[in-house]
Amino acid sequence: MYYGVLLFLNLGTPEIILIVFVALLLFGGKKLPELARGLGKGIREFKDASDGVKREIHRNINTLTAEEELRRDEAAAQRSSTSQQPEEGVTSTETEQTIKP
Q: Taking the model in full, what pTM does it have?
A: 0.47
DSSP state string for the chain: --HHHHHHH---HHHHHHHHHHHHHHHHHHHHHHHHHHHHHHHHHHHHHHHHHHHHHHHHHHHHHHHHHHHHHHHHHHHHHHHHSPPTT--HHHHHHHH--
Rounded distance, CA 25 to CA 19, Å?
A: 10
CA 18 centroid distance within chain = 40
Query: Does residue 77 surpass a pLDDT of 80?
Result: yes
Instruction: Identify the band that residue 48 occupies on the pLDDT scale cut at 50, 70 and 90.
Output: very high
